[in-house]
Amino acid sequence: MKILALVPGGIGDQVLFFPTLDDLKRNYPEAAIDVIVEPRSLGAYRICQSVSEVIKFDYKSRNGMADFGNLLGIIRDQEYDIVLSLGRRWAIGFLLWMSGIPRRIGYDANAGKNFFTDPVPLNQDQYAAAMYHDLLKGLGINSPCPAITANIPKADMDWAAAKQKELEITGGYVAIHGGSSRLAQTQGINKIYPVQQWQKIIQDIHAKQPALPIVLLAGPEDQSWISQMLQSSADIKVVAPGNIGQLAAIVAGAKLMLCTDSAPMHVSVAVGTYTIALFGPTPAQKLLPQSDRFIGIQSATGSIADISPAQILEQIWRG
């Protein structure tokens, strides 16, 4: 059996889809499961063991008939038995109907729902991973959504261990990711927490636990934020993971992850690190599972910058 999933969106969306893929693999252990994702999200599957092949397609670009024709050819060549689609565009539903895949599953709110053999209700008032997992109801799978998990390659675990040794970290540490993707900024969504407020939090942590290292997680788009943070405090360390496996490995070694609503937040959930995440306009309950280990602090104004350091420190020291 061959199963295909169309998963548009960024790294965070892919990680949120892992429970669905894992449950598919549990229910169809002999099946080969492929995914079609945007180029920016290919790396997410380094830490997912349920997928056989990752195919790239830029859902957000202005795709012409030739682009869809090429994708249709790829899908037809693989002779899939089942396809699940998170996309809601009419064109995607039509494409899947043209593919001839026998079972086509998507949301009944999709503009192309009539092209699906098994449309399922769309419930957006829940954790996003559970919303994605609802697609399995189209296959008669009604089990609860499992927790997100990550499969970290040994090479990445070894890299994290070597990095900790290099930075002279012998125990746990606090990891901080406060950057914001360029895509979010172009959409007018600022997820960067002010450096001055981060500094107050770091000072309080150092005052209460002076031996506890603070590690900043630097992504490819975080240079400006990292530079400002280093200017504000010399007593912090920086780690720049080269891929999502290395990110997962370094976050897994932390006692605490402090972050904004971001892809590293979902990775932190996947590795089970105690996480405190800051949210602006997006409701925290839609992006974090209900758990005492994953705390969402919601801005009352919709702006992350309006969350006070005192609110964050209260959650840090509440135990």
Same domain, 130 and 224: no
Give residue 233's pLDDT. Answer: 76
Neighbouring-strand partners of residue 294: 275
pLDDT, residue 231, reads: 86
Burial of 165 (0-12, 13-18, 19+ CB in 10 A): exposed
The whole domain housing 229 covers 154-316
**Are 124 and 191 found together in one domain?**
no
Cα 68 to chain center, whole Å? Answer: 26
What integer pLDDT is reported at residue 66 of this predicted model?
83
Buried b (16+ CB within 10 A) or exposed e, 172-188: ebbbbbbbbbeebeeee
- pLDDT tens-digit profile of 239-269? 999 999 999 999 999 999 999 999 999 999 9
Please check whether residues 107 and 226 belong to one and the same domain. Answer: no
pLDDT at 148: 97
**Domain co-membership, 180 together with 258:** yes
Residues 125 and 172 in one domain: no
What local confidence, expressed as pLDDT, does residue 184 receive?
53
Task: Specify whether 132 is located in the same domain as 166.
Answer: no
Q: Quick one: 7 and 134 in the same domain?
A: yes
- Residue 296 CA to residue 310 CA, distance in Å, equals 14
The angle subtended at Cα 155 by Cα 149 and Cα 161, nearest 5°, is: 90
Q: Does 125 lie in the same domain as 24?
A: yes
pTM of the model: 0.93
**For residue 59, what is the domain's CATH number?**
3.40.50.2000
Helices (H), the chain: 11-27, 65-78, 90-99, 128-133, 154-166, 182-186, 195-208, 223-232, 244-252, 263-271, 309-316
Which of 107, 139, 171 delimits the end of a domain? Answer: 139
Tens digit of each residue's pLDDT (9 = 90 or more) over 47-57: 999 999 999 99
* DSSP β-bridge partners for residue 214: 174
Residue at a domain's end among 94, 115, 139 = 139
Q: What is the pLDDT of residue 69?
A: 87
Residues 13, 106: one domain?
yes
Token couple for 200: 């107050």
**Does 160 map to a domain?**
yes
Shared-domain flag, residues 127 and 16: yes
* Number of domains comprising the chain: 2
Low-confidence ranges of the chain (pLDDT < 70): 180-190, 319
Q: Which run of H or of E encompasses 289?
A: none
Residue whose tokens read 């024709």: 69
* 125 shares a domain with 30: yes
146 is a domain residue? no
Same domain flag for 132 and 255: no
